[in-house]
Structures are given as C-alpha cells and as structure tokens.
Structure 1
C-alpha cells in the first residue's frame, strides 16, 4: 500500500533526521534558493546577530559590503567605538521591520525628514541612533550631516549589493505618538527624556510586520532588480520587555511572530530566502549549549556551528567554490557585549 509518506527521504522523519544523530552533525536544515558567491557584495543589517554573520562571511573571503567607510583620519582602533564597520551602514542595530522601512523611506525621500534632536549635557543625540556617536554630536548641524551620510550609504547598499542580509530581532518598539515615527530605543534610557504623552510603547503584530516587510522589499527591488534578500531571526532573547508579560514568554512571542513573517515572505517571493540561525541556536536538541551562563549571550562556538551550517548547506546545494583569502573589508570586532557584538538593547539590562 502506497501513500504520500511512503517515499519521503530520511530528513522528513524525526527519528532518522534528528534523533539518530549527534545534533552537531545535523545538516540540510537549509535548502538555499540561490547561490551566494564570494565575489557577491553582501550587505548586512538588523539585530546584533547580523554582526556575527558579516564577520563570518568576511573571514571566509566573502565580499562583505561596507557602504559607509570610516574617515581616513580616524584611527583603526577607534572605528568600532564610533560604529563604523559594524553593519554595512552606520545606523546601529535595526531591531524591527518598521525601523528598517523608516530608514528606507528617509533614504529615498518617501517620508518627511525626522527633525527631533535630543540634547544632554551640551551634546546632541540622534533619536534614530542615539548611541552611534560616543558622547553625542557637537551640534545639531553635525548630527544631521552625519544622518545624510548614512542615508546615502543605505542607498548605496541597496543599489549596489547582490545580497542583503537582514536579521529580524524584536517586535517591541517605542514611537513618537504625535509625529508617528519609531525610535531606536526608549527615550530616556540612553539619552533624551521620556514623556508619557509623547512616547508610546508598541508591540508589532504579525500582519503589520508582514506589511512593513513587503513595503521594504518593494522599495529595495524597485532600486535593484538583481537584489536577493536573506532573512534571519536573531536567537538572542529580549533583554527586557515593556509588554507587561514575563520576559521569557515575551521573547517567545516576539521570535515566533518574526519567524512566521519570514516563512510567509519566503513562500511568496522567489528572491527572498530564510536561513535558520534561530533554530540552530535555540532548538531543544542543542540543549542550550550555545548560550553563555546568562542564557542570553551566544557563545562563539555557537556562532561557528551556525555559520558552518550556512557554508555546508550552500556547498551541498551548489557545489564547492575555490577558497579565497579573507578580505580587507570586514566588519569590526567591537569586543565585549552580546558575545563580541554591539547590542544597544542590552543597555536596558542596567535598569534591572
């Protein structure tokens, strides 16, 4: 007697695909839609885990795309401190789909400029990236000049990249209720002053995130027909939640929604793919081995396993590519933080 399950391959069954294997040896979790070659310009943006991806790609000789290079007079050791070479452009972490859409709309003149500036101790802070300049800017003019540079870099990354990697991180955000824009962090936590009448908490739902991501992808594809997009979901739990829920269940909600959005987009669009870094780090079969004792930071060994899956699954699908030396253009290694990357959200832990 035959039926649809009679001729399925071993990877379709839990016993033969998972239970019978050392979890570190499991492969084939990703069947990539498109090949990523070392010569391709690869832009990275999003949550802090995207920094790991950029570093690993550059370390293997891939062409990580630095669309906003540091000024030549800035010493190399200071570039990470000033957030150059962390992502492909100097926005800092982009945690939500709405924030990515907002940056793209600003870059392409699809919304009015955001003119709010935070002042503190005689310095000026950009509410869209409040920790981008250590100690703040010297003037509002310097702040807006720097923002124009990042908007130009976003345009360059979108228009010149072959692959755009976006790591979705959070559903929770803070908004200006009157002007209708989203902040990078809650006002008053790193800079600025919190005002309950002006600043409101928002937890994005699946439908809204899906709509925002569709708009993001339309903007990108309109400017670059060849662009392919690789989505990931950050496996790093929330540092804190303002939802009123326990931070553990709030994390599960956030990551589940983002994972569902990614899956929907992959089903809809042939130029969008999803790489399961989230599953590799967080699934119970790995027994939490990729987390540091705080159960939040991803250890370097975990990043290595994630990226080995990436490279092995690309090779399985498309064959091996001749190795090339590591490239000069590579993301900065900022040192201590979320496992050696910069995570602005981690600053909320100071209020625990």
Structure 2
C-alpha cells in the first residue's frame, strides 16, 4: 500500500485532465468554506475580477455593491466611470500593495495624498486615474469623490462575509516623494511622468506576501470574521518596464502571485484560492480561451471559469473514490513521477 492508492480520480493528471474533453473537466475547486446565498461577498482586484461579481449576481448570490452609481447615468456612463465593476469605485487594483494602500487609507492607518493631476481646467485622481473620463471640476471635488469611495470600502469590508481579491501584476510605479503606489504608470492613463520621482518596483514574493498579509490583517481588524478568496488573473501583462522580454516577465509576475496566493491559503483556514489562472492557461486548453492577441480572455473563457466558480460554491465536499488496481500503462517513461499513473482509479 502507498498513499496514491487511496486518492480520487481528480488527483491524477491522465483521467482528470488529459482524457476528458477540456470543456468537461470537473471538480477543479472544492471550497474550504461555505458561502450561503445571502452571505455578502465583496470583489476587488484586476480587470478579470469584475467577471466574478457578475457571476455571483447571475447565480443568485449576494454580491455587495457598496458604491452604486448615482441616478441619471446610462449603463455606458456607469461603466465609463467605474461603477458596478467592483464592490467599490477604486478602479482596477493590480497589486497587493495597492490593496493594502486603499485599506490603510479607508481605516485610518495612513493619510492619502491630496495631490491632483491637472489637465487644462480638469483634475484627475492619481490613484484611480480612469474612473472619471472627463475629470473633476476641482481638486476638492476629486477628494470628496475619493472619500465616498473610502467610505464604501469601510462599508463593504465591515459588512462582507467574504472578500474575493484577484491579483494581476507584480510591476508597479511608486511615488518616491509620497511613498505611495500608483495603479498605473504616470503619463500613461493620465498625469506626467517624472523620472526623478516615479520609480518602478517589481515586487518580490516576500514583498507581495507581506503586502497581502497586512491588507488581510487590516480588513480583519475591522471585520474579524472576514474570509478571503484569492485568485490570479490569467490575462498576461500588456508590457513590462523591467527591460526583460514580455514573455518571461509575465511568467515571473504570475508565478509570484500564484505562489503568494497558495502560501496564504496554506497558512490560514479562512483563506482560499480559486484556480481561474489554471482554468485559462492550463496546457490542456491550448490557448483556446485567448483572443487573437494571445492576451485577452474570450467570452467563452470567462464563462468557462465562472461555471467552475459557481459549481464549486454549490457543491458539497465529496468523499474520495476508492482506487482500483489497474494494469500498468505506458507513457512518460523518462519521468519518475509517471509511475504514479499506475495508481489512478481508472
């Protein structure tokens, strides 16, 4: 006897991944904790995270929108202004550092800068430069709108049963003067790049793990019962400022974030990981869920991930299936762990 003889089908690559049609792969995620239909769920993170809130609503779950759009805006205007994408109007949060920063501002652990970026007679928020396409009428209006978002963060975090956060990147730009982290490089979406002030930071595993740990600690200080569900965006980075080729730069970024999510989930029973990254980028899918630019996730891919997400939320933990005693099978002879396929239940 050995441990592999009592493992279920889902533990073996051949029957769980290689043999089924890729669209029929099942039982990829078994949640560590249950979420009831009425439990408030808060979402934040990179652009892929916006899909999770919609999936929760479509499945009848209680997605919490703590900062709804004011009346009078069309659906397009709401989308252009960042309403309804996440549970609060921070815009995309790509890195754990920026999540930690928003939480520190919302709960009074740090004071946000009051600087506004001016373009003509309009003003933009450096820490969410895309949420108002036409800008604000004054820096005061900008700060007032930001305070509304900070209040929404407080409401969302203190009310939620679960925070779902999707990590997207390790690269970020810092303000050397203020010590803050931007969601986008100044001079791209808005603002002006200052070579003496704006510095690139490509976060290490230790830094990303620290930032995520501190962010969770701040959230739980306000809501001790808060559970965390982490995901990693499958969308590759658009560009890297490190000087590396975009392909290995993306590999570094996603590897670090995936490792951070996995480590945190190992450390805490109330932190879980949902494999959206693997469901899009796994080799068995052959890139079928990416558009022609090999970066944008197609509608088919989003729907596939969300089906697994909702199925996981609804399932009950399954008992391991007993192993059979199959005959030895050929293949992967040069790889020592290939012998484990012998113990697959089928």
TM-score (norm 2): 0.89
Q: What per-residue deviation string (whole Å, max 9, x for no partner) do you get for residues 167-195 of structure 1?
A: 00000000001221011111111221111
Which residue does 1:79 correspond to in 2? 78
Which residue does 1:115 correspond to in 2? 114
Partner of 2:253: helix, strand, or coil?
helix
Which residue does 1:103 correspond to in 2? 102
From the superposition, tell whether residues 73 and 16 of structure 1 become closer, same or farther in structure 2 (CA, over 3 Å): closer
Which residue does 1:48 correspond to in 2? 47
Listed as ranges, the gaps of 5+ residues in structure 1 are 320-352
**Larger CA Rg, structure 1 vs 2:** 2
Partner of 1:173: helix, strand, or coil?
strand
Which residue does 2:217 correspond to in 1? 218
Which residue does 1:261 correspond to in 2? 260
Q: What per-residue deviation string (whole Å, max 9, x for no partner) do you get for residues 60-107 of structure 1?
A: 111111101112243444211221111110110000000000000011
Which residue does 1:248 correspond to in 2? 247
Which residue does 1:315 correspond to in 2? 314
From the superposition, tell whether residues 74 and 6 of structure 1 become closer, same or farther in structure 2 (CA, over 3 Å): closer
Instruction: Tell me if the contact between 1:27 and 1:313 (Cα under 8 Å) persists in the aligned partners.
Output: no
CA distance in structure 1 between the partners assigned to 2:63 and 2:88 by the alignment: 12
Which residue does 2:123 correspond to in 1? 124
Instruction: Tell me if the contact between 2:170 and 2:202 (Cα under 8 Å) persists in the aligned partners.
Output: yes
CA distance in structure 2 between the partners assigned to 1:247 and 1:115 by the alignment: 34
Tell me the CA shift for residue 7 of structure 1.
2.2
Which residue does 1:140 correspond to in 2? 139
Q: Is 1:288 equivalent to 2:287 in the alignment?
A: yes
Which residue does 1:337 correspond to in 2? none
Tell me the CA shift for residue 45 of structure 1.
0.4
Which residue does 1:88 correspond to in 2? 87
CA distance in structure 2 between the partners assigned to 1:37 and 1:295 by the alignment: 36
Q: What per-residue deviation string (whole Å, max 9, x for no partner) do you get for residues 107-127 of structure 1?
A: 111112212211112211100
Listed as ranges, the gaps of 5+ residues in structure 2 are 319-346
Tell me the CA shift for residue 16 of structure 1.
2.2
Which residue does 1:349 correspond to in 2? none
Q: Is 1:303 equivalent to 2:293 in the alignment?
A: no
CA distance in structure 2 between the partners assigned to 1:264 and 1:311 by the alignment: 24
Instruction: Tell me if the contact between 1:232 and 1:274 (Cα under 8 Å) persists in the aligned partners.
Output: yes
Q: Is 1:180 equivalent to 2:193 in the alignment?
A: no
CA distance in structure 1 between the partners assigned to 2:202 and 2:75 by the alignment: 38
CA distance in structure 1 between the partners assigned to 2:311 and 2:88 by the alignment: 28
Identify the range of structure 1 (201-210 vs 81-90) with the bigger mean alpha-carbon deviation.
Answer: 81-90
TM-score (norm 1): 0.88
Alignment of 1:272-283 (within 5 A): 272-283=271-282
Tell me the CA shift for residue 134 of structure 1.
1.2
